[in-house]
Amino acid sequence: MLPRLLPLRRLARSPTARLRGSTAGSPLSSLFSTSQSDDSWKFSHISSDGSSPQMVDVGSKRVTRRSATARSTIRLPPAVLDELKRIGREQGGELLTGPKGPIATTAIIAGVLGAKQTSSLIPFCHPLPLEDCQVRLQVVGRDTIEIECQVRVTHKTGVEMEALTGASVAALCVYDMCKALSHEIVIESTRLVEKTGGKRDFSAK
């Protein structure tokens, strides 16, 4: 049975009480509990009793050089990609140009802006003074655009979310720049490719 919904006014006054009431003693509470014996499966953004979300305290962490790279893959109808190339040749500009203008340049700017705004979009991400953000686009085959976003910082927490957000926003920008030609455009995936610094490094297989 679903828990009884609180009136909006009462919920606004006591959001954590609402969460406790809906998760205590439930499978969800058990899933989010950070008292599990296997530390590798703890949810760092959930309180120890599993009742509410929380920001991670990074005060005691060590400052290290950190980087992360994320990749988004966009699939377009081959005819759309051909049209973007035709417009680019006709206008003497970028390889890929759409009805709204140069696609790569606009998507790169959007990706950098997205990475810089990550803490405003993802609630528990810390605001970070990014030292570098590089966004690259490349055409793969006849129907694919790949976007990579690489972010670097020297800080107490990593930049995986900044890289993922940058790649995602750049992909959304490509969709927006191309949707006048077709809505059969699919953002197929966004994933972390690699990260360095912090507790452990990561490289996608």
Residues 160 and 198 placed together within one structural domain of the fold: yes
Is residue 8 one of the residues assigned to a domain? no
**Residue 9 forms part of a structural domain:** no
Give yes or no for a contact between 167 and 85, defined as CB atoms under 8 angstroms apart.
no
Do 79 and 143 have their domain in common?
Answer: yes
Note whether 78 and 107 are same-domain residues. yes
185 with 94, same domain?
Answer: yes
Q: Whole-angstrom Cα distance, residue 139 to residue 202?
A: 26
Domain presence at residue 59: no
- For the question of whether the overall pTM of this predicted structure is more than 0.85, the answer is no
In a domain, 1, yes or no: no
CATH of the domain at 136: 3.30.70.640
Do 39 and 70 lie in a common domain?
no
pLDDT of residue 171: 99
> Are 98 and 171 found together in one domain?
yes
The token duo for 5 is 């919904």
Record the tokens describing residue 104, joined without a space.
């790569």
Claim to verify: residue 95 and residue 25 sit in the same structural domain:
no
Is 164 within a domain? yes
Residue 179 lies in a domain: yes
Q: What is the pLDDT of residue 128?
A: 94
57 is catalytic: no
Q: What is the pLDDT of residue 76?
A: 97
Please check whether residues 185 and 124 belong to one and the same domain.
yes
> What is the model's pLDDT at position 40?
53
- CB burial string 28-38: b at 16+ within 10 A, e below: ebeebbbeeee
The pLDDT of residue 121 is 95
Q: What is the pLDDT of residue 32?
A: 47
Q: Are residues 80 and 123 in the same domain?
A: yes
Are 71 and 125 within one domain? yes
Task: Compute mean pLDDT per 10 residues along the chain, 205 residues long, and list them.
Answer: 46 44 47 48 60 70 94 98 93 87 97 98 93 97 97 96 99 97 97 94 92
- Asked if residue 185 is part of any domain, the answer here is yes
Tally of domains in the chain: 2
Q: Are residues 20 and 74 in the same domain?
A: no
Q: What is the pLDDT of residue 77?
A: 97
Buried b (16+ CB within 10 A) or exposed e, 155-182: bbbbbbbbbbbbbbbbbbbbbbbbeebe
Q: Which of 38, 132, 176, 201 is catalytic?
A: 176
In the prediction, which pLDDT does 87 show? 92
Give the amino acid at 33: S
DSSP-assigned letters across all residues of 169-189: HHHHHHHHHHTTT-S--EEEE
Residues 89 and 29 in one domain: no
Domain assignment of residue 4, yes or no: no
- Domain carrying residue 20: 14-54
